[in-house]
Amino acid sequence: MNLPTVQFTKEQELFREEVRTFLQQELQKGTFQTKCDSWLSGSDPAFSRIIAEQGWIGMTWPKEYGGAERSSIDRYILTEEFLAIGAPVAAHWFADRQTGPLLLRFGTDYQKNFFLPKIVKGECFFAIGLSEPNSGSDLASVKTKAEKVEGGWIVNGAKTWTSNAQDAHYMVTLVRTEPVTEKKHQGLSQLIINLKSEGVTITPIRYLTGEHHFNDVFFDNVFVPDEMVVGTLGNGWAQGLAELAYERSGPERILSTFPLLNEAMEELKRQQDIEGLAQISKLVAELWSLRNLSIGVAKVLEEGGEVGVSAALVKSVGTKFEQKIPEIVRLLLDVYPQLHADRAVDRYLAESTLHAPGFTIRGGTSEVLYGIIAKGVLAG
Amino acid sequence: MSEMKDMIIEVVERIFKEKVEKETVDLLEANQWAEDVWQLILENEIHQVAVKEENGGAGGDYEDLFHLYRLVGKYAVPIPFVEHTLANLILEFININPHTELSTVHLAAKPLELTAGKVSGSLDHVPWARYAQKLVTLATEKGTQSLIVVDLKEAHIENHTNLAAEPRDSLQFTDGKILASHPLTEEQHEFLTKLQTAATVSKMAGAIDRAYELSVQFSKEREQFGRPIHRFQLVQQHLAVLAGEQAISAAALENSIALLQKGEAGDEIAFARLKLDDASRIVATSAHQVHAAIGVTHEHRLHHYTRRLWAWRDEDFHEKYWKKQLAKNWLNSSNTIWDVLTKKKQVEHI
């Protein structure tokens, strides 16, 4: 597989500089604290509104919906800078990454006009409702059911591992709108459910760190109006697959533990540990290599190319790399991992270690991804 | 990127595909090489691709040349193409006309000693020296490092080979006459190490391309338990790993030579080299596991690629060298590693 190389333009370099300077200032002001895996675990609605004020949510979207019609490479630069500094961007992350593009592609005019401007302003956050207690990797086996009633649908069932449902206003929910047949990928639809609706219960599932970013979401006779069906009824599976390329190939699949790598290197420099720097250079080389791949996929995506297999590839290799960083760093420095340690490197190590097992599970387990890649390779 | 690239790549790949059979690569084991393929290269002037037009070449660029090196790796072509063309590229870099006689180059070694135009000392692992007429290498005189050209008739040559049976000879010079010398600045020396490294990376990426392709093909053809082995999930996992390393290696190569072409190659050449070192190990391991017993024999061609990967990863400016260089570059730098990765520089405001 050969992906294109991307050379950033001068304007893009300037934009990166602008974002970096802004984030460093906010960090110094104490607006946020650097954290590993902040794109998933760092939900801060107030910070998201600050980002919105900069025009940095939905920046690639059409101007009529409040976007700035910037390129997806610009957005790539922006998200990279968020991840590198470990900024708390989880609140708006899913709407910016997935829901916006989904609605732009499949949504009705009403949905686009109603949701997109609110998302852009940082006033409307989304969760993605896919997994269920008995449907994980075998996602097409979802059982949450929507039954047709006058003017809408009545939803019953449960979603689980829903990131950030506690701060989200809406959830794009994969539900069964037709009875199961032999072809279980058919008869699924995507409904936008208002999480404040009657009959919705959200309960936290605490992560290994003790933090709350996963949830169980229960639906007990929840009414969803007809205008909240996304795209074509029964086409939910295909629509959902289209989102996955964005979800799997982005910089968040290689940079989740980057703040630890960065801090470890600064520490090695302070200690004038040339041997340690030599050892850690392997990780930097690997990151550089993965980043080329991830940016290459972003470029193909922007040009409308097919990236299902290469996105699976970025995620499977990239997440393994994210897991490797804490394992190497702990051998190069005197460390003691603690979530509330004073020393940044100890804190980031604790976060990285405890978050690491999730990297190769969320968004498609590595085992499922290997299957997708092998299938693509054998067909090619 | 040069417009000629696609055409040249296509022509050369066709030549290699047609002419480089398994037996051709095996010639090295019998102390021979593919002289007929080399003749075709000369007749088609492929060796002149990156030579400047005023020196009789085709005026191609680094990218063209390094893509050809990738093909040399991909087909394990037993000819001194990389060595000869790299020697000439380096000669042009110091404004010496390129050689028509077969030349080789060796930079990653303790320099020879130069005294009043005569050179002494020994060099090990010099590629293709026994067949070449000229050698481009380094020598020092009173602490000054120079690039020198020497006729290989001046050397006592002992034949040796690397893990893949490629010629890697030991040379001994005693007051050998040199043909040319050119003092090198630190910067120039660093640039040459990058050129040499990019060449090795290109060959390695090519060998990885092929080891990956062979594995996919074999997994479709080989049947066990009544079905092709690619149907087994654990074999699929190997294929996925191989696909990943191939894609990453290709991207590392493309990105590093694009930077080299633009004159902006910093630490990236080292990054590519370090990554390819890892990829070589992972690819060789998984490719052999997919091929099982037949892959560890001389009868199957897989070893042409895995043995080369194992040999090349320890040749020239290797992982250990670059790790040390990177550490030195970073030790007292005020740039963070994110600045390095994103090539932070003073951008002019527009």
Q: In whole angstroms, give the CA distance from residue A308 to residue B243.
A: 14
Mean pLDDT to the nearest integer, A304-308: 88
Q: In whole angstroms, give the CA distance from residue A327 to residue A1.
A: 30
Task: Compute the 3-state secondary structure of chain A and give helix, strand, coil in percent, each to the nearest 5.
Answer: 50, 15, 35
Residue finishing a domain among B47, B79, B111 = B79
Task: Sort strands B144-151 and B112-115 into parallel, antiparallel or unpaired.
Answer: unpaired
Q: In whole angstroms, give the CA distance from residue A375 to residue A369.
A: 10
- Same-domain pairing of B279 and B200: yes
Whether residue B347 has pLDDT greater than 50: no
User: Domain of B208: which CATH number?
Assistant: 1.20.140.10
Mean pLDDT to the nearest integer, B280-288: 98
- Same-domain pairing of B200 and B319: yes
Instruction: Tokens for B207, please give them.
Output: 């060998």
Instruction: Tokens for B304, please give them.
Output: 């042409």
Whether residue B108 has pLDDT greater than 60: yes
Mean pLDDT to the nearest integer, A129-154: 94
Q: In whole angstroms, give the CA distance from residue A259 to residue B329.
A: 21
Q: What is the pLDDT confidence band of residue A182, given thresholds at 50, 70 and 90?
A: confident
Q: Which residues contact A278 (CB under 8 A, 6 or more apart)?
A: B323, B324, B326, B327
Mean pLDDT to the nearest integer, B228-248: 97
Instruction: Tokens for A22, please give them.
Output: 């802004």
Report the percent of chain A where pLDDT is more than 70.
100
Whether residue B350 has pLDDT greater than 50: no
Mean pLDDT to the nearest integer, A114-123: 98
- Residue B90 in domain: no
Residue finishing a domain among B184, B199, B228 = B184
Cβ atoms of A362 and A244 within 8 Å: the answer is no
- Residue B316 in domain: yes
Structural domain boundaries, residue B136: 98-184
Q: What is the pLDDT confidence band of residue B1, given thresholds at 50, 70 and 90?
A: very low
Predicted pLDDT at B2 = 58
- Same-domain pairing of B63 and B147: no
Whether residue B95 has pLDDT greater than 90: no
Whether residue B348 has pLDDT greater than 60: no
Report the percent of chain B where pLDDT is more than 90.
88
Q: In whole angstroms, give the CA distance from residue A331 to residue A335.
A: 9
- Same-domain pairing of B194 and B177: no
Q: In whole angstroms, give the CA distance from residue B50 to residue B88.
A: 9
Instruction: Tokens for B71, please give them.
Output: 């093909």
Element (H, E) at B248: helix B233-262
Measured between CB atoms, does A374 come within 8 Å of chain B?
A: yes
Report the percent of chain B where pLDDT is more than 70.
97
Q: What is the count of structural domains for chain B? A: 3
Cβ atoms of A85 and A24 within 8 Å: the answer is yes
Q: What is the pLDDT confidence band of residue A117, given thresholds at 50, 70 and 90?
A: very high
Predicted pLDDT at B53 = 84
Measured between CB atoms, does A328 come within 8 Å of chain B?
A: no
Predicted pLDDT at B62 = 87
Cα dist. B229→B10, B224, B299 in Å?
A: 32, 6, 20
- Same-domain pairing of B321 and B204: yes
CB–CB of B258 and A286 under 8 A? no
Whether residue B148 has pLDDT greater than 90: yes
Measured between CB atoms, does B19 come within 8 Å of chain A?
A: no
From A262, A277, A286, residue closest to B336, measured CB to CB: A262
Mean pLDDT to the nearest integer, B110-138: 97
Which residues of chain B have a CB within 8 Å of the CB of A278? Answer: 323-324, 326-327
Cβ atoms of B76 and B37 within 8 Å: the answer is no
Which residues of chain B have a CB within 8 Å of the CB of A324? Answer: none
Residue B332 burial class via C-beta count within 10 angstroms: exposed 0-12, middle 13-18, buried 19 and up: exposed
Q: In whole angstroms, give the CA distance from residue B137 to residue B257.
A: 23
Q: Which residues contact A287 (CB under 8 A, 6 or more apart)?
A: A254, A255, A258, A261, A321, B341
Closest to B213 (Cα-Cα) out of B254, B252, B251, B247: B247
User: Domain of B116: which CATH number?
Assistant: 2.40.110.10
- Same-domain pairing of B148 and B196: no
Average pLDDT over all residues of chain A: 96
Residue finishing a domain among B121, B151, B184 = B184
- Nearest-by-CA chain A residue for B235: A374
- Residue B346 in domain: no
Pure H helices in chain A: 10-29, 38-41, 45-53, 72-85, 90-94, 100-106, 109-120, 236-249, 258-270, 274-302, 308-332, 344-359, 366-379
pLDDT in tens, A205-223: 999 999 999 999 999 999 9
- Same-domain pairing of B191 and B327: yes
Predicted pLDDT at A155 = 98
- Residue B343 in domain: no
Measured in angstroms, the CA of A195 and the nearest CA of chain B are apart by: 39
**What domains are defined for chain A?**
10-124 (1.10.540.10), 128-235 (2.40.110.10), 250-379 (1.20.140.10)
- Angle, CA B200 vertex, CA B253 and CA B64 arms, to 5°: 55
pLDDT in tens, A91-105: 999 999 999 999 999
Whether residue B346 has pLDDT greater than 60: no
Please tell me what DSSP assigns to residue B124. Answer: E
Measured in angstroms, the CA of A321 and the nearest CA of chain B are apart by: 12
Closest to A155 (Cα-Cα) out of A192, A128, A118: A192
- Residue B26 in domain: yes
CB–CB of A272 and B326 under 8 A? no
Measured between CB atoms, does B209 come within 8 Å of chain A?
A: no
Measured between CB atoms, does B250 come within 8 Å of chain A?
A: yes
Task: Sort strands A126-129 and A170-176 into parallel, antiparallel or unpaired.
Answer: parallel
- Same-domain pairing of B128 and B263: no
- Same-domain pairing of B257 and B293: yes
Mean pLDDT to the nearest integer, A169-195: 95
- Same-domain pairing of B226 and B326: yes
Cβ atoms of B256 and B268 within 8 Å: the answer is yes
- Same-domain pairing of B319 and B239: yes
- Same-domain pairing of B308 and B194: yes
Question: Does the model's ipTM exceed the 0.90 cut?
Answer: yes
Please tell me what DSSP assigns to residue A164. Answer: T
Predicted pLDDT at B3 = 66
CB–CB of B243 and A290 under 8 A? no
pLDDT in tens, B62-75: 899 999 999 999 99
- Residue B87 in domain: no
